[in-house]
Structure 1
């Protein structure tokens, strides 16, 4: 039975659509790739770039310094964190690597991760200068990670637990809060890859008990591409040595001395896209004003509706696993290659995406999948769009 979440009124949904010009032209079910930004984010970035072109990049940076700096408390408020625990990064992978590369890992140290861990994370384990032992949490039959097995995997050599909160190839939501409890109990560093959940799921770092969290701006946050952010608990900041530093993250104090910043911005570079940074601030404020709890309810409802309706289409198989499923709906259609199906839907005015084995090698091979199509919904999507999408899918 489908639960009907009344998170938003019809007037509110109409407002979200009116404030997102892209919804006038296409059905955008590629929010797990890159969401449509609200008009205020688009216009904010464009206007900032115009000012840079007219007055100069440095000059506008100085003139609007307070507005740019406001992104830190905005993200901190959304995460229930402190401003000094936030860094602005180029993307989620750079944010994640900033922490991973700062850990003091040695030969034989153990990293525990979940089966649908993202390729960029797993490649970083394999590419690390130290010879790390990688342990993967087994899943229950329904796809949830086995937390009892997780505890049994922990040894004195375990130095990091990294969890991909929602994978790139299914709607699974990992039990991040429960894993945080286990990590706290055993004194383990806990890194949460929230790339796919930031903006759809109410992330509270106090409740998650994570020491670090990485995220992107372009997906469910509805911010510009080329933006990301990082949370690092102030309790762990002093223990982490940035892999790279520059004159922003450190001060050159003498011919052979320097001092590294004490806050999370020690992981930043001096140069960055300030127009996009401003756009990220606007996107965070937009989502926070709407309310992440309400957004999450709407996403749960729309994705459940989409799965229910798609399951009625001949030849369509839903591949989502787990007891809690977010806004990403993974599927295949009999007789279609994933990329061909994406292209055919695009021609019909529908945006989706696809990925294959290299994106989540362990999970895809374990489940016997070679490629899946992703239809990912967000709160500004409508029931009518779900209905139209399913009709189009059925006629292909």
Structure 2
């Protein structure tokens, strides 16, 4: 990996040490150009006409994303963000009274809200699977719950936003297949930083965003739906993209993942997201993962050596997300001070993330990407306050 070339390809690297990639990464020049060029075309010849002229680039998005995650193009839907992609999948599942949903203690609060809404409306039970000693979801506990029966869905985040771990998603997939249970994976923090292959993972549904580690445009995302289950799911709303009107009073849904789309969309963003997927694939996900996890581990080691600094990350397999606190200093104040020195970090609120009984109120979150450097990690360390 030629880091100097990658940074030259990333205009934002000249302005800031960007360690907030779990929020939104800096896009590379090919993505910037693809989005700008299509928007410029829209402004000169019209939006519909620009989409027609660039139809091949719009279609290429499906091949690019499918290739990145080991799927088929007809299993991919373009959605405006990861939350909407996840919602379209979750609310399409035909839950019935007494069904059980199994999730992790680290579940994202937005997803947890959806669980509770469905639980109240349909009599579904939401149950959290306990963690192993290292903080990841316990496979033994999950298997014990699956053996009990009645589980309609296992829904899991691949990489939680607030504690640095990577769940054993392929092992979860094996258990779900053995017990014939639907498996929904929230991959918004993993696609683009880790190797993600839906066949290896064995998930039925997967949602992801463009703006984070994939380095695509903000306001873009995608949904993967396994071919074999598409026709068993009815999206919560349909339009003329998702279905065909059959006069005088009927309709026919698409037979592929496009049934989860809407006709109106951010076309420049769809083109840009396809370019971002190509960019990541060209670099190679294994190489990206090695670089990202290596930088993150170096940062954890340096932070752990600082008196009064507590690294909060869990799990046997760490990600590129590093969370920590500094004694006597509020995370928001640390973020603000770092920003004044040209370093972007963020604050995470673990206590609001799902069902984690051991979460702290807030923490500093630094999330690295392959274009970051050791010097940028040192810049962050140099601007951290002295513990009180």
Which TM-score band applies after superposition, normalised by the shorter structure?
Answer: over 0.9
- 141, 153, 163: which one aligns with 1:170: 163
Contact 1:168/1:359 (<8 A) preserved: no
Q: Does 1:118 align with 2:111?
A: no
Q: Does 1:314 align with 2:300?
A: no
Contact 2:36/2:268 (<8 A) preserved: yes
Task: Return the alpha-carbon distance in structure 2 between the equivalents of residues 113 and 394 of structure 1.
Answer: 37
Task: Return the alpha-carbon distance in structure 2 between the equivalents of residues 349 and 222 of structure 1.
Answer: 20
Report the Cα offset of residue 244 of structure 1: 0.4
Equivalent residue for 2:279? 286
Task: Return the alpha-carbon distance in structure 2 between the equivalents of residues 79 and 244 of structure 1.
Answer: 26
Equivalent residue for 1:373? 364
What TM-score does the superposition give when structure 2 sets the normalisation length?
0.97
The root-mean-square deviation of aligned C-alpha atoms, in Å, is 1.2
After superposition, the C-alpha distances for 1:308-367 in whole angstroms (9 at most, x for unaligned) are 11112222110000000100001111111111111111111110111214641422xx22
Q: Does 1:392 align with 2:383?
A: yes
Task: Return the alpha-carbon distance in structure 1 between the equivalents of residues 226 and 132 of structure 2.
Answer: 31
Equivalent residue for 2:38? 48
The residue correspondences of 1:60-79 to structure 2 (distance < 5 A) are: 60-79=50-69
Q: Does 1:137 align with 2:137?
A: no
Equivalent residue for 1:247? 240
Query: How many aligned residue pairs are there?
Result: 384
Contact 2:99/2:125 (<8 A) preserved: yes
Report the Cα offset of residue 393 of structure 1: 1.6
Q: Does 1:352 align with 2:345?
A: yes
Equivalent residue for 1:37? 27
What TM-score does the superposition give when structure 1 sets the normalisation length?
0.95
Task: Return the alpha-carbon distance in structure 2 between the equivalents of residues 26 and 63 of structure 1.
Answer: 36
The residue correspondences of 1:1-396 to structure 2 (distance < 5 A) are: 8=1, 12-128=2-118, 129-154=121-146, 155-357=148-350, 359-363=352-356, 366-393=357-384
Task: Return the alpha-carbon distance in structure 2 between the equivalents of residues 70 and 157 of structure 1.
Answer: 40
Unaligned runs of 5+ in 1: 1-7
After superposition, the C-alpha distances for 1:27-60 in whole angstroms (9 at most, x for unaligned) are 1000000000001211221121111011100000
Task: Return the alpha-carbon distance in structure 2 between the equivalents of residues 190 and 66 of structure 1.
Answer: 32
Task: Return the alpha-carbon distance in structure 2 between the equivalents of residues 112 and 357 of structure 1.
Answer: 20
Task: Return the alpha-carbon distance in structure 2 between the equivalents of residues 339 and 72 of structure 1.
Answer: 39
